[in-house]
Chain A
Amino acid sequence: MENKRFYGTGRRKTASARVWISLGKGKTEINKKSIEDYFEGYSDYIKTVKEPFSAVNAEAKFDIKATVKGSGKAAQAEALRHGISKALLLFDQTYRQALKRRGFLTRDPRAKERKKYGKKGARASFQWSKR
């Protein structure tokens, strides 16, 4: 049987992940490293990345190859999750409901708000003294 690859792009904050999945045994490679090496054993992030597979009861059924860049590790993990979910959808449309319900197909729009001129931060004003 020909083993096709399915691609998905995932983003979160400024992190951007390119994800290819193919049928396999759960081998995961991120930026040419194993997932454990890449996230330095922080199991929270590893679990975040693998959440789409548990949502569709397909743990260890796919090999993952991915590159991810930008932002921090937490946002990268969620970008990977987003990308994997979109790739899974290409593999099997029937996954849609399970993934959609857990919000894995939605690009999380929360991002740092820009600083405004005339303000100390995005919303905070400069300190003000009456005289």
Chain B
Amino acid sequence: MSRRRRAIKRKIAADKVYGSVLVSKVINGLMKDGKKSVAAGALYRAAEIIEKKTKKGFLEVLTGAVDNIKPKIEVRPRRVGGATYQVPVEVSSRRQGSLAIRWLVQYARLRSEKGITEKIAGEIIEAYEKRSKSVKKREDVHKMAEANRAFAHYRW
């Protein structure tokens, strides 16, 4: 990070099918080697699968899924007098969203379905129902924070 001034927060354009910034962020998270049209195609096809399976709107399911992955609190290492403590800190809302999308895509890629379309569809549905690996990741992070509660006064 630059020590001179804070970087300005970039706004990204809403996606062209749903008009949603969240959707375009997931597309960007899914993108490899700058191939946005491939990533967008995969997510829109996944949207169809999700709507067929859940009988609900894609935006509703995706928003619910991402909200279920958002961590409220996490631990960050801090050195105090030679020892490093895992200090629990609250997560800013912007970082919550970034982490949620990152984990969603990361655990989708680890799934056993064939093809990224099925993988991301499955992960979003399971996250919406709070039983995906990415939701479990959030619980793990919360547990870490709770376990290190004693160091909370080192907050900076």
CB distance from B42 to the nearest CB of A (A): 14
Interface size on B, residues (CB 8 A): 5
Q: Are B16 and A43 in contact (CB under 8 A)?
A: yes
Residue of B nearest to A46 (CB): B16
Interface CB pairs A-B, < 8 A, 10: A42-B37, A43-B16, A43-B17, A44-B16, A44-B17, A44-B37, A44-B40, A47-B16, A48-B16, A74-B36
| A residues near B37, Cβ cutoff 8 Å | 42, 44
The 8 A CB mask of B93-115 against A (1 = contact, 0 = none) is 00000000000000000000000
Query: Could you count the A-B residue pairs with CB atoms below 8 Å apart for me: how many are there?
Result: 10
Residue of B nearest to A48 (CB): B16
Q: How many A residues touch the partner, as a band?
A: under 10
| A residues near B40, Cβ cutoff 8 Å | 44
- Please, how many angstroms separate the alpha-carbon atoms of A44 and B17 in the complex? 8
For chain B, what secondary structure do more than half of its interface residues adopt (helix, strand, loop), or is it mixed? helix
From residue 56 to 82 of chain A, which have CB atoms closer than 8 A to chain B?
74
- Please, how many angstroms separate the alpha-carbon atoms of A42 and B39 in the complex? 13
CB distance from A122 to the nearest CB of B (A): 16
| A residues near B16, Cβ cutoff 8 Å | 43-44, 47-48
From residue 79 to 125 of chain A, which have CB atoms closer than 8 A to chain B?
none
Residue of B nearest to A74 (CB): B36
From residue 11 to 61 of chain B, which have CB atoms closer than 8 A to chain A?
16-17, 36-37, 40
- Please, how many angstroms separate the alpha-carbon atoms of A110 and B65 in the complex? 34
CB distance from A124 to the nearest CB of B (A): 16
